[in-house]
Amino acid sequence: MSADLQPLFEPRGVVVAGASTHPGKFGFATLHNILTCGYEGQVFATNRSATPDNPVEILGIDCLPSVRDVPQGQADLVYVCVPAPAVPDVLRDASAVGIRAAFIASAGFGEGGDEAGAAIGAELAAIAAELDLAIAGPNGQGLVSTPASLCAQFVAPWPKRGGISIVSQSGNLASGAMNHADAGGVGVARAVSAGNSLCLDVDDYLAWFGADEATQSIIAYVEGVADARRFYDVLAQTARAKPVVVVKGGSSSEGAKAAASHTGSLATDDRIFDGLLRQAGAWRARDIGAAFGAAAALGVHGHMRGPNVAVLTNAGGWGVLTADALEPSLVDLMVLPDDLHAQLDAIMPPRWSASNPVDVAGGETRETIPAALRVLAEHDQVDAVLLLGLGIQSNTASLFRAGRFANDPDIERICAFHERQDRLYAQSVVDVSAETGTPILAATELAIADPANPGPATLRANGHPCYASPSDAVDALSALYARGRFLGALR
Amino acid sequence: MATMSEADSKSLLVEYGLPVLPEQSVRTIVEAVAAADSVGYPCVMKLSGDRIAHKTERNLVRLSIGTAAQARDAAGELLSAATPDDGEVTLLVAPMVSSSREFIVGAQRSSEFGPVVMVGIGGIFAEALEDVAFRMLPASTDDAYAMLGDLRTGALLDAFRGEPAVDRACLVGVIESVSAAMIARPDIVAIDINPVLIHNGTPVAVDALVELA
């Protein structure tokens, strides 16, 4: 049976146990982040120095001496920053006032072979079962739940809202994945740093995300799993409901050594683990950036119905590199069917490439790109479209605007035209993919080189990804095709 | 842990559908020559026994036996190479098949993953290529086909050096027979089919080793 993580991710009220007056401490930063990111439930904080004679106020919250003093039934979640030996009592007190979930940030539960700590760790597991508490951590950074406007972590970021949910055995990689949300255009639903996973493990979060309405796709960073069979079963079940992207740390012998000292994970035969992921229907990504790119495409576009990719470009070299990137990938640079070729011929400039990549070769009018996107996406043999060169016109405008002659009305007029065109192209990507159901991805280095460029900025504003290189986009397309294949949804 | 002889390993796996050559298991030199005559030349002769797990290392395989006289010599050599530690031994006589491609199919009961099945590129480059694909058991037929798709040197499954493409359904059948045995017999800890030779496009198991708990 999967654990009920509702009180963890959608708590009615939150208590920070061990809140601190010092901005450098976890107990301050977490309280700050909860208060400043828009959480609307009640927030409580405890500080053991607080007494009626010696009130302690932190960030406007009057601290309670103990979790016992939280009014009954007013909070679901306690975020625990107190030292490990004090944690069991905090959990018992929390349960007594109706709290049902805990995130334990504190370390000292047996990491690095500390026996006394390990004994407390074992006690946590017993308490979780005895009191029916959902216990996350220990030794984690915290959790984020944008539907609840909850940023219960001592680190950044507070990501934009969206459909990607993240579980990570590394706190920093949970942050790392969330950091991609703003630049990547696609936001985050839930994120949790699983810490030592003494009670809730990666598979518990996966199972809950799989049934969570706010989650559209899932990223898991895994170094080792306690029970590979259970992980496989849960992953397979989750992947049937939602696309799951897995990054496996410690897949090399040197990486495995690093993982052993990081999370204590034993080396796993990576070849078997790889087969497990494929069999379960998960997509494996090499790193967090690639995982985010895949999860973004999967969350927004779902899947491809076949391997056929049409590439639309106004930049020849990009088309060449994309053709190179497609060759060894799961998806294909399709041969244009005759009817599609004829349709394109009718709308393309005379010097177009007359093959795929569909290169307008600089001869486009203001309507060429949107019209070509539509013709390609509407064709029943085109399974996805990749648009290259978005933002080139705005990039030209950007230099005009920064130059000495920016006040010239003709320059102003052409800059506005260029920027309008890139907005139009990006908006076409969003609208045509929604109307036709054909995934359309865009790739331009301007996505990271100039995030303010109206092309990528318009995609981001619409919750669409914009890839920084052809190979990043082709990886995401491969994930979409693999998903269609796994779902048995190929045409 | 105990290993089964090649002959017993094969007869166990044949029950689950493993394709093997029509081979004969005999005990004496005279019977071996008769067997060679009956399977035809060239043929292969091997010493088989419960405690013989590494025939090649011990030089207990004779290939390309072309005449009855060679069969007689081979049988004599192999029987005299048996040691008291080998226990009861037999001579396996099988037709010699020509093949330019080899695969490995295996299964193991991993302490971490439980029962898993494996297919890989075999032959002299096997270790250098390390091109293998695994699945957890039980696995579906689709999973078995997907394993073949996972192989980096999957081009070896296509038409190759004048030989037809590998009969994928048959190779999937090898994977599924090993898988079925692994699931049906919890006392099996590992199965190693090495090599699976591709003869005119058709896979055939020419050696098999079953390890019991």
Q: How many CB pairs under 8 A join A and B?
A: 42
With bands split at pLDDT 50, 70 and 90, how would you rate the model's confidence at B162?
A: confident
Query: pLDDT of B84-122, one tens digit each?
Result: 888 889 999 999 998 889 999 999 999 899 999 999 999
Shared domain for A127 and A22, answered yes or no, is yes
Shared domain for A208 and A273, answered yes or no, is yes
Q: Which amino acid is at A147?
A: P
Shared domain for A266 and A396, answered yes or no, is no
Query: pLDDT of A445-475, one tens digit each?
Result: 999 999 999 999 999 999 999 999 999 999 9
What is the total count of domains within chain A? Answer: 3
| Domain-ending residue, one of A254, A277, A301 | A301
- The average pLDDT across A26-45 equals 97
| Residues on chain A touching B111 (C-beta within 8 angstroms) | none
Query: pLDDT of B174-193, one tens digit each?
Result: 999 999 999 999 999 999 99
| Residues on chain B touching A272 (C-beta within 8 angstroms) | 110, 112-113, 116, 134
| Residues on chain B touching A232 (C-beta within 8 angstroms) | 113, 136
- Domain annotation covers residue A103: yes
Q: Are residues A269 and B114, on separate chains, in Cβ contact within 8 Å?
A: no
Shared domain for A203 and A124, answered yes or no, is no
Domains of chain B: 22-95 (3.30.1490.20), 102-212 (3.30.470.20)
Give the pLDDT score at A182.
77
| Domain-ending residue, one of A301, A323, A342 | A301
Q: Which amino acid is at A47?
A: N
Query: pLDDT of A123-165, one tens digit each?
Result: 999 999 999 999 999 999 999 999 999 999 999 999 999 999 9
Q: Is the pLDDT of residue A76 over 90?
A: yes
| Residues on chain B touching A266 (C-beta within 8 angstroms) | 112
Shared domain for A214 and A313, answered yes or no, is no
Q: Are residues B133 and A269, on separate chains, in Cβ contact within 8 Å?
A: no
Q: Which amino acid is at A177?
A: A
* Phi and psi, residue B163, nearest 5°: -95, 150
Shared domain for A137 and A34, answered yes or no, is yes
* Phi and psi, residue A34, nearest 5°: -65, -45
| Domain-ending residue, one of A133, A155, A177 | A155
Give the pLDDT score at A265.
63
Shared domain for A212 and A292, answered yes or no, is yes
The residue among A240, A251, A278 with the most chain B CBs within 10 A of its CB, best to mutate, is A278
Q: Got the DSSP string for A362-416?
A: T---TTHHHHHHHHHHHSTT--EEEEE-TTHHHHHHHHHHHSTTTT-HHHHHHHH
Q: Are residues A275 and B116, on separate chains, in Cβ contact within 8 Å?
A: yes
Residue A475, judged by CB atoms within 10 A of its CB (0-12, 13-18, 19+), counts as: buried
Shared domain for A181 and A259, answered yes or no, is yes
- The average pLDDT across A308-321 equals 94
Q: Are residues B143 and A279, on separate chains, in Cβ contact within 8 Å?
A: yes
| Residues on chain B touching A278 (C-beta within 8 angstroms) | 135, 146, 150
If interface means Cβ-Cβ distance under 8 Å, which residues of chain B face chain A? 110, 112-114, 116, 132-136, 139, 143, 146-147, 150
d(CA A271, CA A281): 16
Q: Are residues A276 and B113, on separate chains, in Cβ contact within 8 Å?
A: yes
- Domain annotation covers residue A468: yes
A171, A193 Cβ separation under 8 angstroms: yes
Percent of chain A past pLDDT 90, that is, above it, reads: 90
Shared domain for A461 and A424, answered yes or no, is yes
The ipTM of this complex is 0.90
Q: Are strands A77-80 and A13-17 parallel, antiparallel or unpaired?
A: parallel
Angle between helices A270-280 and A228-241 (to 10 degrees): 30
How many H-runs (helices) and E-runs (strands) does chain B carry?
Answer: 6, 11
Q: Are residues A275 and B114, on separate chains, in Cβ contact within 8 Å?
A: no
Shared domain for A254 and A321, answered yes or no, is no
Of A266, A272, A274, which has the smallest distance from its Cβ to B110's Cβ? A272
CATH number at residue A130: 3.40.50.720
Shared domain for A293 and A319, answered yes or no, is no
* Phi and psi, residue B108, nearest 5°: -150, 160
d(CA A384, CA A312): 11
With bands split at pLDDT 50, 70 and 90, how would you rate the model's confidence at A361?
A: confident
Domain encompassing residue A253 = 156-301
CATH number at residue A224: 3.40.50.261
- Domain annotation covers residue A491: no
Tell me the average pLDDT of chain B.
94
Angle between helices B29-39 and B68-81 (to 10 degrees): 130
| Residue A278 in contact with partner chain B when CB distance is under 8 A | yes
**Is the N-terminal amide bond of A52 cis, ω within 30° of 0?**
no
- Domain annotation covers residue A406: yes
Q: Where are the alpha helices (DSSP H) in chain B?
A: 6-14, 29-39, 68-81, 126-129, 141-150, 168-184
Shared domain for A11 and A44, answered yes or no, is yes
Percent of chain A past pLDDT 70, that is, above it, reads: 98
With bands split at pLDDT 50, 70 and 90, how would you rate the model's confidence at A381?
A: very high
The residue among B108, B113, B119, B175 with the most chain A CBs within 10 A of its CB, best to mutate, is B113
| Residues on chain A touching B113 (C-beta within 8 angstroms) | 228-229, 232, 269, 272, 276
* Phi and psi, residue B6, nearest 5°: -55, -45
A272, A278 Cβ separation under 8 angstroms: no
Tell me the average pLDDT of chain A.
95
- Give the single-character DSSP code of A490: -
